[in-house]
């Protein structure tokens, strides 16, 4: 990855990666997804709806939907048109409604209405790709997967944690280099870091808890410090 100065980003060393995740863990000891859900099926639906949409917009819709229907049978009973009434404020809601209803039908007929805990069966569901499957496997079932979205892709390439030309390259690099003690929570740490600190156009390097191990040559132009202190972000829930 080239920077604005034209300098390539170097890969982090093992020691830097260890420090990187120790800092993110210290900052957010108990990270979690910002999507609202209470069981694997709700999570599956929420993540499916979240494609090209914000977590806030999805939560507003599912906060009304799930009290009425939060099982494959109940949502399938709503039908496509009924489901649309709950999710019409979310982008691409027409296609998403159709996919969710089709997925519910498959879950009912092939999986006894239980969300499968393996990639093959998850990715066979309409509207579920590799990233959605990875989120469900990691968040609902505690499997060491990495769902690379735009935030994680940016953080990986910018910091030197996982430089890759595409999503799959970054995913494979992350799974390879992240120490085992961090792998289960790393997905959430990286998304939150990218969403609130390592943002796209004007990264908050002056607030970054890992700026001293970051390999982005331009970070000092955005106020990065060579000496970093970490402040824990309390869980408000």
Tokens of 61: 């819709």
Is 149 in the active site?
A: yes
Instruction: Point out the catalytic residue in the list 149, 165, 176, 231.
Output: 149
Dist CA 188 CA 173 (whole Å): 17
CB 117 within 8 A of CB 141: yes
Is 235 in the active site?
A: no
Half-sphere exposure of 15 (CA within 13 A, CB side): 1
Q: Is 43 helix (H, G, I), strand (E, B) or coil?
A: helix
Tokens of 149: 């979205």
Residue in 167, 172, 158, 163 with CA at minimum distance from that of residue 211: 158
Instruction: Point out the catalytic residue in the list 55, 96, 131, 176.
Output: 131
| Catalytic residue annotation | 131, 149
């Amino acid at each position: 990855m080239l920077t604005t100065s034209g300098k390539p980003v170097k890969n982090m060393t093992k020691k830097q990666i260890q420090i990187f995740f120790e800092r993110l863990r210290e900052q957010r000891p108990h990270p979690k997804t910002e999507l609202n859900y209470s069981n694997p099926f709700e999570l599956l639906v929420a993540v499916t709806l979240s494609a090209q949409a914000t977590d806030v917009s999805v939560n507003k819709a599912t906060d009304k939907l799930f009290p009425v229907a939060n099982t494959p049978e109940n949502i399938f009973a709503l039908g496509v048109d009924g489901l649309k009434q709950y999710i019409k404020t979310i982008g691409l809601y027409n296609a998403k409604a159709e996919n969710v209803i089709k997925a519910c039908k498959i879950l009912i007929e092939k999986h006894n209405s239980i969300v499968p805990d393996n990639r093959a069966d998850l990715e066979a569901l309409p509207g579920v790709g590799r990233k959605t499957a990875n989120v469900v496997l990691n968040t609902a079932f505690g499997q060491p997967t990495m769902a690379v979205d735009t935030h994680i892709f940016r953080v990986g390439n910018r910091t030197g944690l996982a430089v890759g030309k595409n999503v799959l390259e970054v995913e494979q690099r992350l799974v390879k280099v992240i120490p085992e003690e961090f792998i289960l929570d790393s997905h959430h740490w990286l998304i939150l870091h990218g969403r609130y600190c390592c943002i796209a156009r004007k990264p908050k390097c002056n607030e970054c808890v890992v700026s001293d191990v970051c390999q982005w040559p331009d970070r000092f132009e955005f106020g990065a410090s060579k000496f970093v202190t970490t402040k824990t972000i309390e869980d408000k829930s």
